[in-house]
Amino acid sequence: MASGGLAYRAYPLGHAGPSPGQPARRAGRLASASGDSATIALRYLAGFGVTAGDWWGEPTGDMRRDDAGSLVWDGPVLNQSVEVIGLPNVRLRVTAGAPLATWTARLEDIFPDGSVALVAGGLLNGTQARSSENPERMRPGEAYDLTIPLHFTTWTYRPGHRMRVSVSNAQFPMIWPTPYPMTSVVHLATAKSVLEVPVIPPATTREVSLLLRSRGKSAPT
């Protein structure tokens, strides 16, 4: 995949082409809108996350309120449908601002009227960033490569819609707040911060970027 792009590859379903060697992924580089920011600060706002409910899969409302306390990246307006089926991943290179930090990621659908629907979500306790069998507290100031697996989903993005990735350290009441105030950092000038989505591809490949839209530093009014 070329740097900064989304790429379609084959997916092994009946009406899709063959997939020799590897599963299908639509991969999108997380980038800043200006293209010149190597890192983005993520302020911890402990009370955000209520819209997503008590656990993934519950009916949700408009996700914009949760997104106001998150970093969000938006893809371009789609000119054709994109069918998603499988287990998306969000990969991040981060620097934690505290020894205990949970990382939550959401894949969302932005409708033409601006409303936002939850497609899939997942979270990772930062103490398990390197091993779930031998967890250890994060070291503030040290870089970690995280893979946040999102829950299985089937979803069709319609023409006129956009993909969104939302990242936060809070998902209340799904996870209890950490006792530490913090500001963490997401590293963007690296291929380690990407969205991977399993898709049923169209006939051609195109590449775009998911651009940073908000910085998770203020509460909604």
- Return the CATH number at 194: 2.60.120.260
Measured between alpha carbons, how far is 213 from 25 in angstroms, rounded to an integer?
23
33 in a structural domain: yes
21 in a structural domain: no
13 in a structural domain: no
19 in a structural domain: no
Both structure tokens of 48: 């955000």
Is 0.85 surpassed by the pTM of this model? no
Both structure tokens of 18: 């063959």
Both structure tokens of 194: 């990407």
* Contact by Cβ (8 Å): 114, 171: no
* Contact by Cβ (8 Å): 87, 198: yes
Checking if the pLDDT of 75 tops 60, the result is: yes
Per the rule left: phi > 0, alpha: psi between -120 and 50, beta: everything else, 53 is left
Tell me what pLDDT residue 145 has.
Answer: 92
Is residue 76 reached through a cis peptide bond, with omega within 30 degrees of 0 on the bond before it? Answer: no
Checking if the pLDDT of 214 tops 80, the result is: no
Question: 50: helix, coil or strand?
Answer: helix
Checking if the pLDDT of 1 tops 60, the result is: no
Local confidence band at 213 (pLDDT 50, 70, 90 cut-offs): low
220 in a structural domain: no
**If you average pLDDT over every residue of the chain, what do you get?**
78
15 in a structural domain: no
Both structure tokens of 210: 């998911």
pLDDT in tens, 145-173: 999 999 999 999 999 999 999 999 999 99
9 in a structural domain: no
Domain residues for 92?
26-215
Q: Based on the structure, what is the number of domains in the chain?
A: 1
171 in a structural domain: yes
